[in-house]
């Protein structure tokens, strides 16, 4: 057994689940993961109960500026909910099974639908900074090198050895997002496209951006896809949004440079509308029902 033992085993996840369930009355059916600068979603949760990651057994610690590093339980638009304010990334040095452990804990707590947000660089030249992209599919670059959260022994208690990923991003939830965005007047900055995940923490080179764009990626980031893989393995529905926080540099004559401060500033600029979109979607979602 490898480092898989130190992250994501059923027994380990059950210990964490039991610890949380014994400390909150909330039994969440919706899980939300907040990306860089997008933690404000957690502020919309009514009657919040907050647990620092550092206090939760087996949880990694969030080390990234802009990630609060806490779990918030409560209700969002009347739905019992758990929200991660800050997530974990490969570049923080954790085994990939460890950074996706919260997905399995949420499954054991009764979560049926996962909603993820992230900040991403725009590869599609039609995208503008501040656009919100519904993720319809992903390209898992680390997976090409064998870095996959499902590597190691499969635990049948969570899912099958070879889970399907052609339906990773729920079609009905994506349609719901379009419907809500139209009602709210957000259609002009709403996109739908393919997200490519890289390991980070260095931003992409110009040559890498050009290559990824030619491969069919519309946006690039350092998270989300690993969580989606584990959530889908455990048969949770997934929906994900990327906030286009910067335009990927494609031109060698360009003076533009990607930086984390720009990511956080764009998050602040668009956060309120993103929160409204997600909360309205949650209000429309029916408990354990696919007919919105």
Per-residue pLDDT tens digits for 133-186: 999 999 999 999 999 999 999 999 999 999 999 999 999 999 999 999 999 999
Q: Catalytic positions, please?
A: 36, 67, 89, 91-92, 119, 222-223, 246, 260
**Please, what sign has the CA dihedral across residues 16, 283, 132, 136?**
positive
Single pTM value for the model: 0.92
Beta-ladder partners of 79 = 76
- What are the tokens at 12? 């380990």
Q: Which residue has the higher pLDDT, 3 or 220?
A: 220
Question: Which of 17-31, 64-78, 121-135, 176-190 is predicted least confidently?
Answer: 64-78
Q: Is the pLDDT of residue 1 over 60?
A: no
- What are the tokens at 288? 């354990």
Q: CA 36 to CA 250: how far, in whole Å?
A: 23
- Band of pLDDT at residue 101, cut at 50, 70 and 90: very high
Q: CA 70 to CA 198: how far, in whole Å?
A: 24
Angle at 143 between CA 142 and CA 146, to 5 degrees: 100
Q: Is the pLDDT of residue 23 over 50?
A: yes
What is the set of domains in the chain, with CATH numbers? 3-284 (3.40.50.1580)
């Amino acid at each position: 057994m490898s480092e898989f033992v130190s992250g994501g085993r059923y027994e380990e996840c059950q210990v964490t689940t039991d610890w949380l369930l014994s400390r909150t009355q909330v039994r969440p059916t919706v899980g939300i993961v907040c990306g860089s600068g997008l933690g404000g979603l957690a502020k919309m949760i009514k009657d919040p109960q907050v647990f620092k990651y550092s206090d939760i057994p087996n949880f990694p610690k969030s080390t990234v500026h802009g990630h609060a590093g806490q779990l918030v339980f409560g209700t969002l638009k009347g739905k019992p909910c758990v929200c991660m304010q800050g997530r974990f990334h490969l570049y923080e040095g954790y085994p990939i099974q460890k950074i996706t452990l919260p997905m399995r804990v949420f499954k054991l707590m009764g979560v049926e639908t996962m909603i993820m947000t992230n900040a991403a660089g725009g590869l599609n030249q039609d995208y503008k900074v501040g656009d919100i992209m519904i993720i319809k599919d992903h390209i898992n670059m680390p997976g090409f090198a064998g870095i996959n959260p499902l590597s190691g022994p499969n635990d049948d208690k969570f899912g099958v050895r070879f889970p399907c990923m052609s339906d990773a991003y729920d079609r009905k939830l994506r349609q719901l997002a379009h419907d809500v965005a139209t009602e709210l007047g957000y259609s002009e900055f709403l996109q739908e496209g393919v997200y490519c995940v890289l390991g980070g923490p260095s931003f992409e080179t110009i040559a890498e951006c050009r290559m990824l764009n030619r491969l069919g990626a519309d946006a690039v980031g350092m998270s989300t896809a690993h969580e989606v893989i584990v959530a889908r393995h455990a048969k949770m529905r997934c929906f994900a949004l990327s906030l286009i926080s910067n335009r990927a540099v494609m031109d060698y004559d360009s003076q533009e440079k990607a930086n984390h401060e720009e990511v956080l500033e764009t998050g602040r600029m668009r956060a309120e509308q993103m929160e409204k979109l997600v909360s309205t979607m949650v209000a429309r979602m029916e408990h354990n029902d696919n007919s919105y």
